[in-house]
Each structure stands twice: as structure tokens, then as C-alpha cells.
Structure 1
Amino acid sequence: MDADGSTEPEAEVAHGVRPWDGEWPEDPRYDPELLAKGDRRNVVDEFRYWTMEAIVAHLDERRHPFHVAIENWQHDLNIGSIVRSANAFLAAEVHIIGKRRWNRRGAMVTDRYQHVRHHEDVATFVAWAEAASLPVIAVDNVEGSVPVDRAELPEACVLLFGQEGPGLSPEAVAAASGVVEITQYGSTRSLNASAAAAVVMYEWSRRWAAGQA
């Protein structure tokens, strides 16, 4: 037992907070179970003890106008990590193109707080983007791509990423209104897909969301 009377192991509280100490708040955003047992979730301190529904509702009030889309033909393990980054940069929505199932391990349960939509194929996705009046910006180091730090990056847009290895399909590149790449200086041909996605989302945030955190 700890000095404060708690039996919670230190290894566990390092990744969250203990049960609420003192009189419980009356705010309906708080989850009675989390108040009683502690909160071990991967959320920022502002959302400690909040219900999942309350967190999503709060995020929905602040979401940025960029979307993230990912082609999913080979069950790429990077998709979960890209969803996690989309949550971190507060994307409006994540779009999975192709196979409906995707490996959620890398998302670290952030998909519970991030809206995710499925499209059967590129054509269906493009039709949605056109109906939403959102330009599609493809991210791939193909011929004709422009370094993202010098490219036009609309405030409202969809950032489209491909699979690890093959990159974007020719159909996806052809459907995009612009193609950007990340400038590299070493010997490798490409960045890891999830790392590239984080870089581009950060570049969007640097331009359009600076000072909003």
C-alpha cells in the first residue's frame, strides 16, 4: 500500500491518473467509472475522466477542415499509425479506400475519437470528394510531384496517402488535383508511410492551425 493509502502500482499510474480524490464533479462530461477506478487511457490531461462521447463531441467542435485518405489494398500495418496522427492533428475525418478491414493496433485506440469512413474504391472516394468540394492532394514521390513545403496546400482538402512500398495507385494519382512529396537527403528512396503522413499533416498544421492548440 502506498503512503496515500492507494494500492495502485506505480507502473500503472505512470500511464494515467488514480481514482478521483475528493468530492466528484457534477459535470456530466465525467465518467463515474473512471472517477472511481482511475483513467489509464491515452488522452491528454484536459480529457482525463471524461466519457468517450464527451471527448468526441468536444473534438467535433474544433476539428480542422482537412481530411486524410489512405488506400488499403494490402492491409498495410501503417494505417493505424496514420489514423493516430490524424487524431493528433485533429483531422476532420479519415477515409479508408479499398478493403474495409484494417489493422487497428497502431491506432492505439485513437480511432474511437476519430471519424473513419470507408470507400469501396478510388472512384467512390473521388465522387465523395467532388460532392464535398474538397480538392485531393496526393502524397507520393512520383514524377511531377512538388516538395510539400513549396506546394499549394489548401486549407480545406483531402491528403491522400498510399501503401507502404508501392505507394499510391495510378488511378489515385490521376484523380488528384496536386501531388506533393517530402524532400529527402539520404539514400533511401522513400519514407515510411506513417512517418510521411505525419510530416505532411504537420506541414498543413504549420500553415493553417498555428497558435490554435
Structure 2
Amino acid sequence: MDDERGDADDARVVGVGPWPGGPDAWPDDPRYDRELLAHGDRRNVVDAYRYWTVEAIVADLDTRRHPFHVAIENWVHDLNIGSVVRTANAFNSAGVHVVGRRRWNRRGAMVTDRYLHVHHHPDAAALATWAAGAGPDAGRLPVVGVDNVPGSVPVETFAFPRACVLLLGQESTGLTEAAQAMCDVVVHITQHGSTRSLNAGAAAAVAMHAWALQHVPPP
């Protein structure tokens, strides 16, 4: 079983052990994984999904996905893509789209890509073609770029569309010109220090949280 705990050197015990009482006490529910019931569930999942199969978790998440997608350009095997995917899982994004190279560095995702719908597009034009018919009633999904480029607007004052695509560039170069051209708008995160830009994974988290503040009711 893949380790979903993150740092292999972390000595903390996470998750739960075998189901108390042994096989005779196992729940009679097809969502539960017999191997996990027998050996314990150390995955990086919330308690409500302990002992569930991956397929059951995905099916349940599918009933309440949020209507925003996350896309990120992948030209140089950016290490930040994994953390973007993990954050997209945390906010229950409708999907993640890798633009550019099909292979991406999964280490930072901590296996959370199993619980998401991950798609690939060879370039920005292909992503634009997909977005043209992926919105409500087969309409167009607006594309919101996230980068501190000239003409971008502050994320703090931007009204996010409920259904949209959040498009991020690479850590080193930001959004390519082709990606910027397909965006309806590009937003930036206001900074107050000396660094020119935020880490791409951090910027993605801020953008998703800003969307959620506007469209997800508090629990």
C-alpha cells in the first residue's frame, strides 16, 4: 500500500489500526476495504473515510464536487504540481488539468490524485477547446489566470465565477503568453514583502481559498 503520510522519516503514527473485534465485527457495507479493516488505515484521509475503498471515497466526493477546476502548466516537471493537486483535493475541486507534459512530479500530491479527476492537455489551446464546452449546460467555463503580470487584478477584490478554471503557470516563469491569452482575467495576490512572487503551490492555495470564501457556505 502506498504511503500517504508524506515524509517517510516522520515517526508519528497516523490513522487507525485494525477494526476492533476482528472479522466477526466488521461492518457489512461494500464501501469498506477488507484489507484496511484487517490491517488498519494509515492513509491521509479524513476520519469519515477511514477503512473505505478508494473507489467509494471518489464516488462520495463526486456527489459534492465544487464547480471549479484547477489547471497548471507543466513544461519542466515542476515540483509544485503535486502540492497544487493536494490542495485541489482539499477543496474538492471538480478536476485538475495538467497542461504540457503528461508526466508530472507526484511526490507532493501524497497520493491525493487518486481521489481527483486528473486530465491532460498538450497545450493551452487544447485546454481552451475543452473549457469551451465544459461549463453549465455545455457552455463555456471562464478561465481565471493566477499570476502577478501587468494588467492583473487583485484577488482580494475579484468576484470569482462560481464555475470556472483557475489556471496557474510554472514556478520559474509563471503563465506563458499562450496561457495568458486564453484567460478571461488574470488575478494576482497582493504581497507586502520584498520577494517578487509567491511559490506556485502557495499561490494556488490562496486562489482556491479565495474562491471558496465566495462560494462555499461555512460549515
The normalised TM-score by structure 1 is 0.93
Code of the residue aligned with 1:69 in structure 2: it is A
Name the residue aligned to 2:102: 100
1:204 aligns with 2:207: no
Q: 1:122 to 1:41 in 2, by over 3 A?
A: same
1:145 aligns with 2:142: no
Code of the residue aligned with 1:17 in structure 2: it is V
**Shift, 1:210, TM fit:** 2.6
Q: Deviations for 1:120-175, whole angstroms, at most 9, x for unmatched residues? A: 11111101001221000000000010011111210000000000020000111111
CA contact 1:13–1:40 (8 Å) conserved in 2: no
Larger Rg: 1
Name the residue aligned to 1:20: 19
Separation of aligned partners in 2, 1:122 and 1:55: 31
Unaligned runs of 5+ in 2: 1-9, 135-139
Name the residue aligned to 1:171: 178
The number of residues matched between the two structures is: 202
Runs of 4+ displaced beyond 3 Å: none
The normalised TM-score by structure 2 is 0.90
Name the residue aligned to 1:116: 118
Separation of aligned partners in 2, 1:165 and 1:72: 11
Q: What secondary structure, in the 3-state scheme, does the structure 2 residue paired with 1:158 have?
A: strand
Unaligned runs of 5+ in 1: 1-10
Q: What secondary structure, in the 3-state scheme, does the structure 1 residue paired with 2:162 have?
A: coil
Name the residue aligned to 1:5: none
Give matches, 1:42-61, under 5 Å. Answer: 42-61=44-63
CA contact 1:138–1:176 (8 Å) conserved in 2: yes
Separation of aligned partners in 2, 1:47 and 1:143: 44
Separation of aligned partners in 2, 1:72 and 1:31: 34
Name the residue aligned to 1:67: 69
Separation of aligned partners in 2, 1:32 and 1:14: 21
Separation of aligned partners in 1, 2:88 and 2:12: 27
**Shift, 1:13, TM fit:** 7.5
Name the residue aligned to 2:4: none
Q: 1:34 to 1:121 in 2, by over 3 A?
A: same
Separation of aligned partners in 1, 2:212 and 2:20: 37
Q: What secondary structure, in the 3-state scheme, does the structure 1 residue paired with 2:132 have?
A: helix
1:162 aligns with 2:164: no
CA contact 1:137–1:179 (8 Å) conserved in 2: yes
Q: 1:40 to 1:12 in 2, by over 3 A?
A: farther
**Shift, 1:12, TM fit:** 7.1
The sequence identity of aligned pairs, in percent, is: 65
Supply the RMSD in Å over aligned alpha carbons.
Answer: 1.2
**Shift, 1:14, TM fit:** 2.3
**Shift, 1:190, TM fit:** 0.3
Q: 1:12 to 1:19 in 2, by over 3 A?
A: farther
Q: What secondary structure, in the 3-state scheme, does the structure 1 residue paired with 2:16 have?
A: coil
Separation of aligned partners in 1, 2:94 and 2:156: 22
Separation of aligned partners in 2, 1:73 and 1:112: 22
Q: Decide which of 186, 193, 197 is 2:200's aligned counterpart.
A: 193
Q: Deviations for 1:4-33, whole angstroms, at most 9, x for unmatched residues? A: xxxxxxx87821101000211101111111
